[in-house]
Structure formats: structure tokens, C-alpha cells
Structure 1
Amino acid sequence: MTRVRSRSASSHAQQHLNGLAKLSQSLRARPDHGLEMAALSRADIENFLNRMSFLQANGHFTLNTRRAYLMKARNALREARAMGLTRPGSPMAGLPDDFVITRRDIPKAAEPSEEGQDLPPEILRQLCSHLDRFEEMCCRELRVAVEIIIDTGRRPDEICRLDLDCLTRDGQGKPVLVYSNWKEERIGRELPVHESTAALIRAQQERVRTRFPGRPASGLVLLPTGQQNPNGAKSYDSNYLSCQHRDWVEAIPDLHLDDGTVFDKEKVFPYAYRHSYAQRHADNRVPIDVLAELLDHDSYESTRCYYRVKQVRLREAVDKVTQMQFNRHGERVWGAVTSFLDAERTRRAIGSVVAPFGTCSEPTNVAAGGGACPLRFRCVGCDHFSTDVSYLPELRAYLDDLLRTRERLRAMTEADDWARAEAAPSEEEIRRVRRLVRRVTENIDQLTDDERDQIQQAAAIVRKTRQGFLGMPRIRQPLPDLRPERPA
């Protein structure tokens, strides 16, 4: 018996029945058609597993569907034994102990796509520009549902089943959406929302009250269906929303990425808006504990599945940024290189460590993981140091800090001369850092506008990987400013 108490309980029960049905189909090949419980054995389980593998290989269903059938059949057999149904006189009496599907029998899930399921910002903008068409094709309620999903990142089922009184205010008067996480059976969850989203919800609430006058708000839903719903208590189904959404996506013009590439419309579905919501917040350096709370996740591992820097994009970005790499004198290191071999990437990765404003290849420091610099991190004075355009904001900030420190120490009168001299940055270091910043900026200024935009985007991607720890965004930092430095 399923423990799910939400409206999806019937779906869970159906999934278990489907798994048992597949097992039953396999057992029909036996001479006794699988009716003799005591005659069953591990060999019958092996035949079932082989049959499922064969059906998947021949395109009857996907790997995920195969895993689902096996897991549900496994759960049903395990629960039957736990409930005592294999005892004498019970419906499954005599079922052998080796007639069982083990954890090892379940194939591993497919590796998640590096592409992710979030939609690029330019695709979201184009979709939003066509929402009027969506309303014309179906109704106002479903358009509102899509807008709220995009704004809040809630699951489609959570939005479709919102009560009419789903909007409240917190202690500071800010709008809060009250919803239920049906997947995890968490009722009455709260999510801070923007005023624009609150205005959208309030307008829909007025529509519902006008449509069902005299009905108490406690019995109304925010998105009432237009069929067989005289009391306003029946919501649109999320599956119906998905079908209407698919028809709309196919009906609108082609969607294009910023580089002109046509975007695959198969990647546009309601749940993708939840991934896009997570990616937007991750890109804005929202800490993973806050993001997990926003997504109503118990585990950070679940949250990490919703955002990441894609490896293909990261590799391309690293290639672009590394082409604009400089030594401590501001000279291009890899100016003639257009792409790196995998072996070269690996060699560079294991032969260097991250320094404050670039990378260090000094053997002692590398062996110590970056904690044993013999020059006490005077990087611009060491031939083992190199940097690239993604570090330009840090270099500029460091130069500003050196100059501020120098002026502050010059103005101090309560310290001895020798103490101020020891604490002050050297004029040579200031000169070296200023020269490095100038030469990196000059090289960037020689690029075309298109090349400069590509480098800036690549630098932003590379910087994102440096801000995290095990994939977790931590600190909001500015994107690299690649404009030429203004003369003082």
C-alpha cells in the first residue's frame, strides 16, 4: 500500500501495478504460467531482468522506465513479505526466498546531461514575449500559471493547486506565496515573492471572486478550470497545463540563442522553469543553503542537480580565457594557441595552484597546495606566476588597495618610520602591478567588439567556478570589467 497521501496517490499505485504487470508477463512464459508459487526461483527473476533489458535495447521504453518497472516490482515483493503475505494460507504462500529483485539488479541511472535543464535568459525573454499567444490559445488561468511558475520556480502541480488565499505578507509587509509541496507532503510552505508576482496573483484573485460571487474564499482555488466546476473548487490539472504548453511552444516562431542558433523547443517544458529559477539565483551567487530553502529541498545534493556550470561551456571558456594569459611582465603566454589538448589541460591543472591574482607553478608551493610560497605571495615578482583576463578585477582591486595602504601609512604620525616602511607596499610592487594591469587592458583593447564580448562572457564563466566550493555559490563578486582603464 502506498504511503502517499496527496492527490498523486493513485499514480503511485498505478506505477506499482505496472511493475507487477511486467513481471507477470515474463512469468507467463513458464509452463505453469507462473501460477505455482513454490516453483518460482531466482532463474525466473533472471529471465525477467533479461526480458526488460531486451525491451529497452529494442526501443520499447527508456532506461528510466526500465528502472522504474524494476524498482516498483522490487518494492511490491519486499512489502508483500513484510506484510506476511508469503505465510501459509496467505495469497503468496510458498513464494521462495530467492524470488527477489535485489538492489544490484536495478541498472544505474543514466548520467545527467551536462547541458542541464535550465533555459538561457534570452530564451526566457522570447517565451515571455509570446505569452499573449498562450492566453489566446487556451485561457487566462493557464497563462497566469506559467507566469507564476517562471517567477517562483515552484513545481507545476504546486502552482496549479494553489488556494485562492495563497498570498500573505510577512512581518516587514513583503509578499509571501503560501503553497504546498505535494511531492514531499509539506503543507503550507512559504516563499518570498516580488511585488510584480504579488500583483499578478491579486489580479487573478479578483477574477476568481468576480466569476464565483458569494462563494467563500476558503472553498475557491486560484486557477479554477472552466469545465464542470460550478463551485470554483476544481483546479486545472498540471498534465493538462503541460499539454497546452507544448502546443503553444510548437506554435510560436523559432527561438534563437544570442549567437543566432535555433534553440531546440523540446527543451522548453514547465519543469524547466524551475531549473531556470535555480540557475538564476546560483548565477547571482545565492548561497546553496539559501537556494535549498528556496527550492524546499532537504538535501543540498538535490539542490546541486538544479544548477551547475556546464562542462562543455566551461572548457570553451577556459580555452578562450587562457588564450589571454600573461606572465608577470604582462607578456602574452599563449597568444598563438587556439585550443588546448586534454593532456595539456591536465598537465597545467596538476602543475599549478591558484594564487591571489592568477596561478603559481613554483614546485614547493604547488606541492603544498598553495600554502608555501617562498616569496610570501609577492606574485608579480616571480617568474612562476601567470594570470589571465578573468583576474583583471582582482588585479585592479589589489592595485587600489596598495595605493590606499601607501597613502594611509604616509599620513600616520603615531608610528615609527621603520614600522611604516616595513608595512608600506614597495614602490616597485605598485609599479609592477600597474604595468601588468595596463598591458592586460591594452591587449583587450586591441580585440574587436565581438571578440571582447566573447572574452568577457568566458571570463564570467571561469570566475563563477572560482567563487564556489564543491559547486556551491558563495560570494557575490563583480563581473570582470574589460573596458580600458581610465587615466588617473
Structure 2
Amino acid sequence: MSLRGLPERLVAEVLYGLQARTQAGFHTSQTLLRNLLNRVRELELSTLTAVKPEELARGCRGFYNSLITFIHRAGKTPESERTKDVWDGAVFGHTGRLHFTELHQPWLREAVKEWAFTTLPQRRGRAMATVQDIVRAFALLSESLRLQREDRGEDLRALGQHDITTFLNRLAYLHHTEAISAHKWVVTCRYLRRNLAQLRSMGLTRPGRPLHGLPEDFALLTEDIPDEPEDTEAGRDLPLEVMRELCKHLPSLADYSRNGPEHQVATELLIDTGRRPHEICQLPLDCLAQDGDGQHELIYNNDKANRKGRRLPISQATAGVITRQQERVRAAFPHTPVAELVLLPTCLANPHGRKPIGPGWLSQCHREWVYSLPEFLVPTRVEVDGQLVTRNLPFDKSKIFLYAYRHTYCQRHADAGVEPDVLRDLMDHRRLDTTQAYYRVNAQRRRQAVDRVTTMQFDRHGNRIWRQAQTLLDTEHARRAIGEVQVPYGLCTEPSNVAAGGHDCPVRFRCVGCGHFRTDVSYLPDLEAYLADLLRNRERLAAFTSADDWAKAETMPSDEEITRVRRLVQRVRADLDGLTDEDRAQIQEAVTVVRRSRTVALGMPRVRQPLPDLRPDRTA
């Protein structure tokens, strides 16, 4: 490769660019380099930065852009970058760029730069994207000052609370005209309230600093933040029918990945574990462990909360997916120490297997794969001729994205009866209300489900309880709130037990023998499981010979209780079987909603529903 005839600066740039590319793991084609050098000689340029991409052949442009990127970073430091209006994230140890160009007032631009320079070392994960969102919130404030003040917001000493009020009115107008969403309206106010206060705490209002002279009343108050819009869905989980179809077509995902099986494995782990995409992509090769009982656990890092070495219980089938991927990676990179390998290595600039695939690339391949699949038909409630009916309609594929698998994981476990505090630990959240946002059901949807389920309500004898619709609407929901308490297999209206929150049952939870007990179709799985437990316990006690007769008589389930529960189960099942297919589908949908929001805490063993098997054909 000849560099003869090229200026010394250009030679230095080429050599440095090649060295930086090699250190980053990129391969360089001799043909591309030779063609680039020949073209530079023809143009008689003294530096690579003077080359215009359109002057190069199409095949050389990507290679040239890579060289220029490394050359521009040469000699850059965070101190030198902070004076610019566009920051290169690589200088700060992050990916992406940070733009301050939409901040029109010099005082505001310099203050936000000071804040960004301080906060970047404290952030992890998508640091540049998160900081850019906050900068955009300041940009909306800057645009409001520029448009609605005669001095365009240049004189910060003239600002005050009236400018904040004007800005809030502008946000309301932008939301009304659909220029911004309700969520962005709320988030913008939250960002500005918190970070304007942080700018003051950083001492930026002192003499000689960018905000010197800014009035104290130029700030957002708590009451200035609008209420978060109420979601109309319980999280963003995917229906069971959609999940089964996705799992069935998972092998075809490899056709849309230029990285081998890694994208398929990553998607499968996202579905099985409910971790964030970044957490799955960053898994080390040695991420599989066993607890004291020999069960498998996934070891991962929660960078969002700065928690390292987190452990998540996983199934044998999921452990089998990880084990097979570990074998493939070890065979592909036999000379790299295991401690340095990642579970999902990228095929780009990664000769030693130390670099993982990126969440962005994974998301793009996943999106292309989803849109290539046939339509997903799911039961949907629609209105036809004034009547609500259930139809199988195509599911909106735009709702199928990587993070939706995390919502679906949470919803599956909530539907299976996992306790909220346990579910919080599974999701690796610090606060319970964060977890509840992944699976909550709004009041309107819950009320509609209660109305539908309560029409199939039974007393302890299995007799159907009929109520007029108006009576149901006026009294049933009030009684649900203050006049009854949930018990393991239905509802209890006994006053002392209701007052004690379900902890003072006079008959020790022999509900089927109490006149205050009633149940409905949503408790059918619990009743069936209870009947199976009674029969199992009776057989076990009958075969137990080491206890006195009085002890066995006290603990032996009575024949009357078994008969009563069996009759109740048969009665509920018979009424359910007597419905039309459409009515049965509506009842099942309502049951899912009601059970999703149900909590029973009596200090008793709970009947937990098994998780739906998305891939019954898969083995460990």
C-alpha cells in the first residue's frame, strides 16, 4: 500500500484512522483503502476532512465516514467538548450526540450545558438519550420565551412567574392542537420543575455564573404539573394468542438477522425473563447459576437502578436456551477467556467476542420480523347494530415491540396470582407502584367486568342469584367497596369479618357452610383446586396411622363439605357450558380482568394459577 505523494497531515490522518479502527475491532479492506487514497490524490487535497462524501464512489463512503469519525475524536476531551453546541457522546463514554442548538437564549444554553456536563457521569444506560429529552424540555421553554417576549427572553432579569404561566398556557395549546401528547406535557413540566431547582442548587445564580440575576419566582410549582393521563389498558401486555403465534414463528427470526442466532436467543430470553432489552443484550457468557435447591437462576445487571449481580429464577427450558448459546459462543471464540466473553456477541468489529449486540439493532430486526408475519387474530369486543359482540380481528402490530415483552411477563405472573411484593422483586423494582403500572386495570374496565361476572353469581347451595340491572349498578359496586370482603373462593358479607378485613371468620373459613358466602364464575378455578385439595387430604389422612383418632377427625375434611363444594363446582360449570360461544367468550374475558385485580390476604395458603405455556413443544 503506497502513501507516496500524499501530504504529511493526510498520511498521519490515514495511519491514525487505521490504528483506531483496528483497536475498535474493525477489519479494513485493502481495496477500499487503495481506492480512497487514489481518489484523494486525484483531488489534490491536504487533509481527509476536506473530502466531500459525494466526491467518492458509493462503496468508499462508509469506510471514509468511519475514518473521519475516529479522526475527529482525536484529541477531544470533555473539557474541550463542553464549549460546543453539539457534543459527541463517545468523548463522555456514551453513545450518540447531544444537541443544544434549540436553546435560543445564551444564558439558558450555557446553564443547561453546565447541568449536562455535571449529570452525564452520574447516568447509566441510555444516558445521552435521557439527557437529550431533558434538553428538549428546556428547548420548549426557550421557544416560548422567544415567541412571547419582546426581548425574546434575552434579559433573564426581566423574567418572572408570568412567563412561567405563559409557558404553561402554550403547553396546553400545543396539547390541544396535538403538537405534543398528554404524556409529554406532563413529563416536560416535571423535568423543568426538578432541573430548574437543580440549576439553582448548582450555584449557577451566583455572580459571574450564567443564571446570575434570575428571579426566584421563575420556577414551576407542584400544582403546575398536570395529572398523568389515565391509561385505558392494563399496561402494554400482549394477548396470549399473539404471544403463542410469535413463539411459534421464532425460528424465522434468524432470516432477518445478519448476526446469526443471537437475535432469536435474545428475543426468546426477553419473552421468558421479562428483563429490559439492554439487560439481555449485556449478559455475560457466565450468566447461569443454580440456587441451593439446584434450580436455575439468571445473573444480570440492572444498570438503570445501579444494581449489579441480580438473580432471577428461570425455568429449565430457558436455562437450556442459555446453555446452547454458551456452547456456540465458546466454540466461536475458543481463545478468549470466559470472563471476557458475552452471551450475545455481535458480528461487527468483534474479533474476540467481547462486544454484545446492541438494543437498537435488535429492535430493528425484531420490527422487520414482526411485520413479515401473518396477521394475528385476537377476540375483540366491537359494536354491531348497537350490540356488543366478540369478533376475531387483526392485532395492531405496532404494539409488538421489545419492551412489550416485559409488560407481558409481569401481566402473566399477576394473572397467575403472584403476590404484588413478590412481583415487584421479579420485576426488580424498588417501589410497588412502579410494578402496578405494568398490570393495573382501570376502574371503568374493572366495573364492566364485575357487571358481567356478577350476573353469574351463586350462593353456598349453588343456587343462581338473579338481580335486576339497575339494582346491580346501584348497590353491587357499593357493597363491593364497603359491604363485603374477598375470601379464597368467593365473597363474604358477614359484618364482623368484613370489618376485620377478612381476618375474623367465625367458622374458620368453612365458607361453603356459611350463609354469608357467595361466589361467581371467576372463582371457578379456585373452587376446583380447593375440591382437589380436599380429596387429596382425605386420602392422605386415611392412610396416616401415626395420629390419634381425635386428631384425624379434627383435620379430616367432612363428606358434607366435599359434597357441597363438588355440587357448587358442577352448578357453576353447568351454567357456563349452557352459554353460547359468544357469551362464553365475553364471560372469559371478564373473568380475566376481574382476576387480574384480585388480592386476597388472609394468612392462608393461596391457590395460584399456573403460567400459560407459550411454547409447550420446547424442552430443556
Specify which of 177, 189, 196 is matched with residue 70 of structure 1.
189
State the distance in 2 between where 1:437 and 1:52 align: 56
State the distance in 2 between where 1:126 and 1:439 align: 35
Distance 1:375 1:473, change over 3 A: closer
Distance 1:379 1:37, change over 3 A: closer
Structure-2 residue corresponding to 1:209: 330
Specify which of 117, 120, 129 is matched with residue 239 of structure 2.
120
Structure-1 residue corresponding to 2:407: 275
* Paired residue secondary structure (2:326): helix
Distance 1:379 1:97, change over 3 A: closer
Specify which of 153, 162, 171 is matched with residue 34 of structure 1.
153
Structure-1 residue corresponding to 2:175: 56
State the distance in 1 between where 2:605 and 2:231 align: 24
Structure-2 residue corresponding to 1:482: none
Q: What is the CA distance between 1:159 and its match in structure 2? A: 0.5
Structure-2 residue corresponding to 1:135: 254
Q: What is the CA distance between 1:440 and its match in structure 2? A: 5.4
Whether 1:241 aligns to 2:362 is yes
Q: What is the CA distance between 1:180 and its match in structure 2? A: 0.9
Q: What is the CA distance between 1:184 and its match in structure 2? A: 0.7
Write the letter of the residue equivalent to 1:265. K
Q: What is the CA distance between 1:414 and its match in structure 2? A: 8.4
Which runs of structure 2 are paired with 1:276-295 in the superposition (5 Å)?
276-295=408-427
> RMSD between aligned alpha carbons?
4.3
State whether residues 287 and 475 of structure 1, in contact with CA within 8 Å, keep that contact through their aligned partners in structure 2: no
Whether 1:186 aligns to 2:307 is yes
**Residues 241-280 of structure 1: per-residue CA shift (max 9 Å, x gap):** 2232222212111112367343222221111111221222
**Residues 320-371 of structure 1: per-residue CA shift (max 9 Å, x gap):** 4433334566543328x68975325335536853586655667898788789
* Paired residue secondary structure (1:257): strand
State whether residues 360 and 385 of structure 1, in contact with CA within 8 Å, keep that contact through their aligned partners in structure 2: yes
* Paired residue secondary structure (2:342): coil
Whether 1:300 aligns to 2:432 is yes
Specify which of 125, 143, 158 is matched with residue 25 of structure 1.
143
Structure-2 residue corresponding to 1:324: 456
State whether residues 266 and 281 of structure 2, in contact with CA within 8 Å, keep that contact through their aligned partners in structure 1: yes
Q: What is the CA distance between 1:124 and its match in structure 2? A: 1.1
State whether residues 151 and 277 of structure 1, in contact with CA within 8 Å, keep that contact through their aligned partners in structure 2: yes
Whether 1:89 aligns to 2:221 is no
State whether residues 150 and 274 of structure 1, in contact with CA within 8 Å, keep that contact through their aligned partners in structure 2: yes
Aligned length: 468
State whether residues 149 and 274 of structure 1, in contact with CA within 8 Å, keep that contact through their aligned partners in structure 2: yes
Write the letter of the residue equivalent to 2:127. A
**Residues 113-158 of structure 1: per-residue CA shift (max 9 Å, x gap):** 3332222222211101111222101242111111011111100111
376-385 vs 15-24, which deviates more?
A: 376-385
* Paired residue secondary structure (2:465): coil
State whether residues 467 and 474 of structure 1, in contact with CA within 8 Å, keep that contact through their aligned partners in structure 2: no
* Paired residue secondary structure (1:107): coil
Whether 1:157 aligns to 2:157 is no
* Paired residue secondary structure (2:122): coil
State the distance in 2 between where 1:16 and 1:103 align: 18
**Residues 358-408 of structure 1: per-residue CA shift (max 9 Å, x gap):** 55667898788789999999988887765445566659849969x97xx99
Write the letter of the residue equivalent to 1:13. V
State whether residues 416 and 609 of structure 2, in contact with CA within 8 Å, keep that contact through their aligned partners in structure 1: no
**Residues 195-220 of structure 1: per-residue CA shift (max 9 Å, x gap):** 22222222222333333342233333
Q: What is the CA distance between 1:182 and its match in structure 2? A: 1.3
| Bigger radius of gyration | 2
State whether residues 20 and 76 of structure 1, in contact with CA within 8 Å, keep that contact through their aligned partners in structure 2: no
State the distance in 1 between where 2:171 and 2:407 align: 31
Structure-2 residue corresponding to 1:250: 371
State whether residues 26 and 48 of structure 1, in contact with CA within 8 Å, keep that contact through their aligned partners in structure 2: yes
State the distance in 2 between where 1:216 and 1:424 align: 60
Q: What is the CA distance between 1:74 and its match in structure 2? A: 2.9
Distance 1:334 1:236, change over 3 A: same
Q: What is the CA distance between 1:50 and its match in structure 2? A: 1.7
State whether residues 144 and 167 of structure 2, in contact with CA within 8 Å, keep that contact through their aligned partners in structure 1: yes
* Paired residue secondary structure (1:307): coil
160-169 vs 245-254, which deviates more?
A: 160-169
State the distance in 2 between where 1:270 and 1:425 align: 49
* TM norm structure 1: 0.79
247-256 vs 432-441, which deviates more?
A: 432-441
State the distance in 1 between where 2:510 and 2:606 align: 25
Write the letter of the residue equivalent to 1:349. R
